[in-house]
Structure 1
Amino acid sequence: MKEKILIVEDDLALSAGLCFELQTDHYITMAAYNCRQAVQVMESDRFDLVILDVNLPDGSGMELCRIIREKYETPVVFLTACDMEQDILAGFDLGAEDYITKPFNIQILRRKLEVVLRRNQKQEPAKNENGFSDGYLKIDFEALAAVKNGEQLVITPNEYKILKILTANAGNVVTRQLLLEKLWDSAENYIDEHTLTVNMTRLRNKIEDPDHKYIKTIYGMGYVFTGVNL
């Protein structure tokens, strides 16, 4: 998956140049020209890295960095003309991964961004036969407990069965027929096509939201548990 980089820079020419250079390295880039735009963009999209200037038209990049670090795990790299020692130290104190001063060498910048992105690569979500967790959604099949973003979920036994089958086969298509066979319990409580569809819809409504999708429908076949934060 291509990494997505947000560039917060009010110099339009420099911003366009950075976007072009990074796109040639196969990154996806987006530009914001002030603090307000950056906050709005980050609220509606997910980024793997933020390149941030200190002097912005409507505020300080330092304050914006503090906001980003409080709300997101996205790494921040300062790219700025502010080269005073106290500025550099302040940037690192706020949690920046690196502090690069202008003028800069584009090849060195590229290499530094590679290092930051590699260092901050998210590990695959932890999952096993007894549970699943990606930090946002946590499922314990032994305790029949599920938590989404710190909130306890009420999930039915059949929904847990569906989740366990899907997570055990994460990344692979689980056919509707297989689910129907697995959901036929020892008491022969029959689960039909309609009931399966209803259970799947309710389960999705409980564990998913606009920013977190876990179950993908493969029309005409079945479902895939992606277990991926979008």
Structure 2
Amino acid sequence: MTKIKVPLFSPTQYATHMNESIGNTTARVAIGRNHRTLWNCFFEPLLEHDEYIKLLEDIRAVTSDPALQGKLMDNWENEVYECNEEINGLNEEINITFQHVRHACLYLELATAAEKDKDHNRTWAFNNEASLMVGKIAEKSETILNKITADSNAKQNSKNGKGRIKSFLPAKEEAARLLDEMKPEGGWLTVVSAASALEEPLGSFIDANRIGGIKSSNIRNLLEKKWIPKDMLVNSAWQKNKRLQK
């Protein structure tokens, strides 16, 4: 029998609580929420902490003077933040997003200044404009961070792959040695017969030397499908010791 979970609040209580929570939000709280979102989604993961402080200081110095504000906005058009990311095109994406962030911060500081002057309509107008931008900035920042994560994972996988190749080298050298040492009279007849003959001694070598990444159940298939026909070292030994076709 399915147990029915009784809701903590009735629909009426939930709606009342939601309306009170949203309706009683002050301009100061709303502005602070937007600042936190910008910090959490953009500045903290993508830029240096000092960039956030510097930006706010630059904006606060001009909020009371439209001429200085215009000059600051004009300067932003020529500023390029030097990123450390090496992913193709990502520096440009971060700088384009940073331009939107600068303007969002400007609107938030203008909203703060208007609130100090008790101009509440102007306060909410600036904050609403910033809120629209903050939502888009959060989405774009997530896209950028996903690209960074994907690139980091790809580099790690490549590093792990190179590590495995290096760790397999002793086993490949032993396979080449065994192809030479165990060569039957007249040479190896087929890749399949060679892989079958090398399976047990090569497996013992791998176990004795604790070579990771190779399962004993997969040694024969590895020799037959990859190492003997495709690996430069092992294939060279195979070519030297295989039976010549008449």
Identify, as 1 or 2, the structure richer in strand: 1
Q: Which has the higher relative contact order, 1 or 2, with Cα contacts under 8 A spaced 6 or more apart?
A: 2
Give the TM-score, by structure 1 length.
0.29
Larger radius of gyration: 2
Give the TM-score, by structure 2 length.
0.27
Identify, as 1 or 2, the structure richer in helix: 2
